[in-house]
Every structure is written in C-alpha cells, then in structure tokens.
Structure 1
Amino acid sequence: MLKLEKLKVGVICYPSLGGSGVVATELGKMMADRGHEMHYITSERPFRFLDAHPNIQFHEVKIDGYAVFKYPPYDIALANRIAHVIETEKLDLLHVHYAVPHAVSAALGKDMANSTIGVITTLHGTDVTILGHDPALRNTVRYGIHKSTITTTVSESLRQETLELIEPEKDLLTIYNFIDENKYRPVDAGKLKSELGIERHEKVIIHISNFRAVKRVPDIIESFRLVAKKANAKLLLVGDGPEKMAMEELVHDLGLQDNVIFTGKRDDLPELLAISNVMFLLSEKEAFGLVLLEAMACGVPSVATAIGGIPEVIEDSVNGFLVPLGDTALAAEKALQLLQDDKLYATFKENGFATVSDKFHSSTIVTQYEKLYYEVAGSQ
C-alpha cells in the first residue's frame, strides 16, 4: 500500500514568474518538506528555488538546434527528458502544469519510457481561456486532458469553462491555489515607502502583474486617476511585460508621472504590500487571481473585476469589492470607500485573514494534492 510510503514525483512546469510557476514550486517545496522526492523537469531552474532542498532535484531540458528544424523543438526535448527521468529515477507519478505543451509532452515521454506511470495535469487558465478558443489547439488541449489520469483546475469557474469549451470525456477536479503563509503576512517594510518617494501621509494603491493586455492596466491607471482627484495617493505598478512601455506613455500623457511608480519586477512583494492600502486587479480574464490571496494575507483589501475565478477569492463587500469589467468609475469609488472608512477597512482586513486561513490555507490544499498523489500512484 503506497499511502505510507514517500513518493517520487516528476514535476513539469514553466520556471518563470506567474501563478502557475509560483504554485508549482511552492507545492513542490511543501511536498519535499513532507518527505517526498520532487523532480523538476524544466528548461531552467524554477525562479522560486532560492535555497537547496535535499528532497528536490532539478533535471534540465536542453534544447539543441538542428538545421532540419526551423524552430528548436522544445516539446520533443521535454518528452525525451521526461522519459529519461521516469526510467532513471523510478518516478511514481508526474504532475504537469498546463495541458499544452506539458501534458502532451508527458504523454509522449511516458510512451517513450514504455511506462504506465500516472499523470496529474493542472490547468491554470490560459491553456483553456486562450488556447481553448483556437480551434486548431482545442483538440490538443482535449488530448492532453484525455492522456492524463486526473486533471485538476485552480477554480470552479475554470472547471466549468473547460467542460463547456473543451468538452472532455472525463470530469475535472477543482483544487484551489494557495500561498506560503510564512512569506505572505504583515511585515515591517522599514524605510521602503520613503525609498520609493512616497510621503508618509500618502495612500498607496498597488497592482502586480505581467503587464499583458488581458490585465487591463489602462483601467488600473484610469481608476487611479479618478481616485487621485479626491485622495492624496500614489499608484505602484509592480512587474514587467509587453504593455509596460505603452503604460509609461499613457501615464505621461495623463500627467500622472509624479503619482505613478513603475517598480519593475520585485522579489519583496510582502514589503511592497505592507506599504499599500488597496490592491487593484481589473483583468478581463483571471482563472484564480493569486495576487489577491497574497494581498489578503498581508492585510490589503482588493478591488477586482467580477470575472473568472476572482469571485471565488473575493466575497463582495465582505473581504473586498467586486466591480463589472471596465467600470473604472465604480472601481475608483470602491477604492475611495476603503481609503476613507477606517472601520470598513479594518473589517475587510480581518475578513481577508479569515479567508486565507479557512478556505485557502496551504496545509489544506497541499493535503488535497498529497491525497491525489497517493491515489494516482496507487492506481497504476
């Protein structure tokens, strides 16, 4: 019976910033703390592996260029590496983050190794909400799901969208995202506020993202512009991405350059949240919204769009505010409410702490995954 044994788990994920990379690496570290061997099969070391862990190993996927290929075949290289690690490490199961290309590569690698190993695929959003709308890729996503032993989604909203859009022949299981509560908690930010050029009395609104169009950063800036008319405030735009330069131009065109601070990518998110009063997340697509949970754990209420999985994290008028997509005037109004009503703010803050603890605590979510790992490993 595998239930009392420690497992060897192969993990395939994107090693970069983003919700999927955060969850994949945090889950791996917590599983490793429970004694399981976690084998990461990626193109580079995942960004959250700052410290060595005796139960975590990294297996690099090397992508060689060949004249016969116009583009280096990452999915084939990944499949080869997966097959090799299955065989050499005697893995008990694979946990794959994203159906395309990872679940497809896992299926190929499994066949190459002539293995019956179980595969868990976790859908994080874009493999369904974006790729799933492309008829050429929809079948590929469906194939990845069908080749998986079990497929999970990070929210019930994503589960429903996947069932409707992809129409898989098997059901999906929702297991929510989580955060490391040891990192995301109220902390002392030291002199960070003054270092960023923010006066002691100024309120701070924060937005953290990868600056893609789907994040609707112009809506963030417009909402802040309306807030700044009635409150002495600064806007922190944390992150980087394809829209950043255009956003800098927009801020300049609106004459907000003295009130908006572009910080670039930062590792000190708990400290940045510690100097912030309100989080804005006004995306048009969001399978879960991990930054909302991070903000909540640090005592920062959010104003967010009522789309995707966000309403499963934010309970409107209880631990934050939900607004319709594109309603920048209402977003500004709700932010001002929080900035000007200390009693309401304190209530939202405490309710946020309770949400993190009661609904999304890491120990609960990791235990759900661990149980699933045993089920999948034991079924093969």
Structure 2
Amino acid sequence: MTRVAVTTGPVRIPPTYFVVNHLLHMPDVDGRLFALSAEVDDPAVAPLVETSTPYGVPGLRGSAAAFAAVRRQRRAVRDFAPDLVHQHFGTWSLAGSGAARDLGVPFVATLHGYDVFRRSDAVRDFWTWVTARNLRTCGERATTLLAVSGWLAGEAVRRGYPAEKIEVHYQGVDTDFFTPAGPDGTEARPATGDQLLDVPVPRDSVRDDLPEVLFLGALERRKGVADALAASVDLARSVPHRLRVVGAGSQEALVRAAVAEHPHITLEGMRDRAGVRDAMRRADVFVLPTQQDGEWREAAGLVTLEAQACGVPAVVYASGGAPEMLDDGTTGTLVPERDTRALAGAVGEILRLDPTARRHLSQAARDFTVAHRSIASSAAELSERYASLTRRPRTESP
C-alpha cells in the first residue's frame, strides 16, 4: 500500500473537498492531509486531517502564525514517513516540498489556477516575495506538476512552470453523490456500476410547470451572474421559465434588484453540499457564464460537472478551462464569452426541446461525467501515477 502525505495551505472542508476527495476513493493508498491550517466540519473527513496552526486568525498575528507553522507542517509530514508527497496549490508549498526533499521521495503538485496566475506577479513586498518563492520552489522541486485542465497546463508553461513536468489531471466529481432525480422527486442512485434505482427523496419546495434555469456559484463578476440575469430577462420574452440564483457574493445587490423587477427570478442564498445537489436536481438547464476578470479565468469548473452528474445539461461560456468540463453539442452548449444573446439562445434551444430529446440530453450529460470526469476515474488515474512514481528509485536528500 502506498503511503501518501497530501499537503496544502489554509483550507475549509466543506467546501474544499477536492484536497481529500482522492484519498477517500483510493483504498490502496494510506493517506493523510497535512494542512497549514484547517477548519473541518465534516466528521467523515476530520480523522484524515492534521493541522499546524489555528484556522482563521486575522491580521498580522494570523499571518505570522501561519509563516511560523511551516516548519511544524514540514516536521509532521516527515514524521508520517510517506512514500510520496502530493501538494495542492503551489502557494504554501514549502513545507510539503521540503519534507519530500528531506525524505528523498517524489513530490507531486496540483496546480488549480490561482497558483498559475500569480506566477507572473511582480514582487512588491514581503508577502508577494513569499508567494513567489513558494511558486518558484514548487516548480523546481516537483517531480510532476498536475494541471486541472489542458488550458491551465498551457497557461502554466506560458508563465514559467517547466513544460517537461506538466501533465493534465482532471479532478473529477463524486457521481455516486451527485445523481439525477427521477419523476416526482425520486432519486436515481447508482447500485452496481451505473445501474439506477428509484429511491424517494424530499425536494426543498414544489416546482410549478415552468422549466427552471439554475445559476449556482459566487455572485461575482468573474462568475458571470450579471450575464445570467441579462440572458434570462431576454429569454423570458419568448420562453417562460424560472431563473434560480443560488449563492452569495459582492453582486448580491444586483441580483436582488433583478428579483424585485422580474418575478421569474429568485435568489436562494448559500447551500450546503446536499442543498447544492437538491438545487441541481430541480433544474432543467445549468448556466455558467464564467469570464475573464483581470488575470483570472476559470481553470476548470467542477460545478458544471456536478450539474451534469445530476443529469442537467449545461450552457457555459467558452472561457479558460471551462469548455473541457462538457461535451459541446452532446451534453450542453458552449457560447462565446460575454455574449448574453448567445447565452439566452442556447438556453432557449434546450428548453424548447421535446421531452424525449431532453431525456436523451440529460442522459448524455450524466454518461459523460461518469465516464470521463468522475472522482472514481480520477482517483484510479492518480493511484496509477502514485504507483509509477514510487516504483522509481528514491533520490538522495541533500
């Protein structure tokens, strides 16, 4: 059995399950998460997590504590004596990479986006210097760098990460948890393979006969909530529907103004993981109008996969790595970035489909996610990578 130390910086679980998801789906791996600081509210995950400093201490005191905790985190990983260290995010990577070097074991790092965009930042002060040092050292020491999309892999090379080390590894979503809802609110749960059983589950409210479009995510410019609102208002003139907005963020006032003016729009606030799944199961179409915001673009977009795993077709802007999370024309539609008319048109085309065509589209969305973007397949691929790397002779620590 391969012994793996997963390392990361400050983390909250939920929502950041992806740092432990693979460990939960790899029975052949003895793994533990070593976080610089952590707040874990899920009792199923808590035993896997070790933290080096309290989470969420504000201001300079918290920053100083985090910086001092790097040595404790490095020592904890070293004491665990793993066969391999896997870092999530190139930021706060000195403890993980240092422990791997101490032990002479492979060091794998997954790049998620922020750690790529920050790579080309100018050093302006102490903390930008610390970030730059973490990112540079991560690239230098990594045996393998895993990018969460092909687009991000290209960006990483463009911004200075070594091309010969970069491979694409899609993170995947839990297709045993994110499952479709059947008629009258029944849940389709996988039994063996992807065979479906109908098990009654409650819905959070009773829907009327209007089809539902779902925006779920941060209410921020970069996630495109304003574009979702504009497209829905445009579409409502020809295709009656409801737009449900689930999330919170700096553009909440904009959404509330739209709700006040347009009765077909509702704002439902934040949801926990089960609430996210319930919201997706009620939807007929999921929209993600994610778009460039300064240096930032969507590196992947797991929420698109979660929706499709629930059998919901997606309409997504062709921005960053987001297009890699669906099969254009088969499980949903890609439209040009910031083109709200095209967004409205694509959503309208799906809502106008007859019931048989809608069912085929829903099944295709589910099938694509299970076959190509599930956490099970992602974990199996990662387990093979671990095995391959740990079969190599260990390097001598300096």
- TM-score in terms of structure 2 length: 0.81
Find the aligned partners of 1:271 and 1:64 in 2 and give their Cα distance. 30
Give the C-alpha shift of residue 368 in structure 1. Answer: 1.3
- CA pair 27-234 structure 1, distance change in 2 beyond 3 A: same
Alignment pair present for 1:15 and 2:27: no
**CA deviation profile, 1:198-244 (whole Å, cap 9, x unmatched):** x4212211112123331121111111111222233222222223x24
**CA deviation profile, 1:255-276 (whole Å, cap 9, x unmatched):** 1266222232332222211111
Q: Which residue of 1 aligns with 2:350?
A: 338
- CA pair 267-309 structure 1, distance change in 2 beyond 3 A: same
Unaligned runs of 5+ residues in structure 2 are 187-200, 292-296
Alignment pair present for 1:107 and 2:97: yes
Alignment pair present for 1:134 and 2:116: no
Conserved? CA contact 2:119–2:159, under 8 Å: yes
Alignment pair present for 1:226 and 2:237: no
Find the aligned partners of 1:150 and 1:75 in 2 and give their Cα distance. 26
Farther off after superposition, 162-171 or 322-331? 162-171
- CA pair 17-204 structure 1, distance change in 2 beyond 3 A: farther
Find the aligned partners of 1:237 and 1:323 in 2 and give their Cα distance. 20
Find the aligned partners of 2:282 and 2:248 in 1 and give their Cα distance. 20
Find the aligned partners of 1:347 and 1:176 in 2 and give their Cα distance. 25
Find the aligned partners of 2:211 and 2:286 in 1 and give their Cα distance. 12
- CA pair 181-74 structure 1, distance change in 2 beyond 3 A: farther
Secondary structure of the structure 1 residue equivalent to 2:146: strand
Secondary structure of the structure 1 residue equivalent to 2:267: strand
Conserved? CA contact 2:210–2:240, under 8 Å: yes
Conserved? CA contact 1:305–1:323, under 8 Å: yes
Q: Which residue of 2 aligns with 1:353?
A: 366
Given candidates 286, 307, 326, the residue that maps to 2:298 is 286
Farther off after superposition, 314-323 or 273-282? 314-323
**CA deviation profile, 1:307-358 (whole Å, cap 9, x unmatched):** 2222222222211011111111111111111111124423321221221132
**CA deviation profile, 1:272-315 (whole Å, cap 9, x unmatched):** 11111110101012111111111111110011001222222222
Given candidates 85, 88, 95, the residue that maps to 1:97 is 88
Give the RMSD, CA atoms, in angstroms: 2.8
Q: Which residue of 1 aligns with 2:24?
A: 29
| Aligned counterparts, 1:169-184, within 5 A | 170-184=164-178
Alignment pair present for 1:316 and 2:328: yes
Q: Which residue of 2 aligns with 1:277?
A: 284
Secondary structure of the structure 2 residue equivalent to 1:41: strand
- CA pair 348-13 structure 1, distance change in 2 beyond 3 A: farther
**CA deviation profile, 1:77-132 (whole Å, cap 9, x unmatched):** 4422322222322222221111012x234234556xx332322100111221x313
Give the C-alpha shift of residue 18 in structure 1. Answer: 8.4
Q: Which residue of 2 aligns with 1:147?
A: 141
Conserved? CA contact 1:9–1:36, under 8 Å: no
Unaligned runs of 5+ residues in structure 1 are none
Farther off after superposition, 142-151 or 185-194? 185-194
Find the aligned partners of 1:156 and 1:72 in 2 and give their Cα distance. 33
Conserved? CA contact 1:41–1:81, under 8 Å: no
Q: What percentage of aligned pairs have identical amino acids?
A: 19
- CA pair 288-14 structure 1, distance change in 2 beyond 3 A: farther
- TM-score in terms of structure 1 length: 0.85
Q: Which residue of 2 aligns with 1:256?
A: 262
Given candidates 44, 61, 76, the residue that maps to 2:38 is 44
Find the aligned partners of 1:61 and 1:233 in 2 and give their Cα distance. 49
Farther off after superposition, 133-142 or 118-127? 133-142
Given candidates 269, 272, 278, the residue that maps to 1:266 is 272
Find the aligned partners of 1:119 and 1:257 in 2 and give their Cα distance. 53
| Aligned counterparts, 1:34-73, within 5 A | 34-42=27-35, 43-46=37-40, 49-51=42-44, 56-63=47-54, 72-73=63-64
Alignment pair present for 1:296 and 2:308: yes
Conserved? CA contact 1:64–1:72, under 8 Å: no
**CA deviation profile, 1:10-38 (whole Å, cap 9, x unmatched):** 3325533688x23222112112xx04322
Alignment pair present for 1:79 and 2:70: yes
Secondary structure of the structure 1 residue equivalent to 2:230: helix
Give the C-alpha shift of residue 367 in structure 1. Answer: 1.4
Find the aligned partners of 2:62 and 2:20 in 1 and give their Cα distance. 28
Q: What number of residue pairs does the alignment pair up? A: 359
Secondary structure of the structure 2 residue equivalent to 1:201: coil
Find the aligned partners of 1:179 and 1:52 in 2 and give their Cα distance. 16
Q: Which amino acid aligns with 2:174?
A: D
- CA pair 341-179 structure 1, distance change in 2 beyond 3 A: same
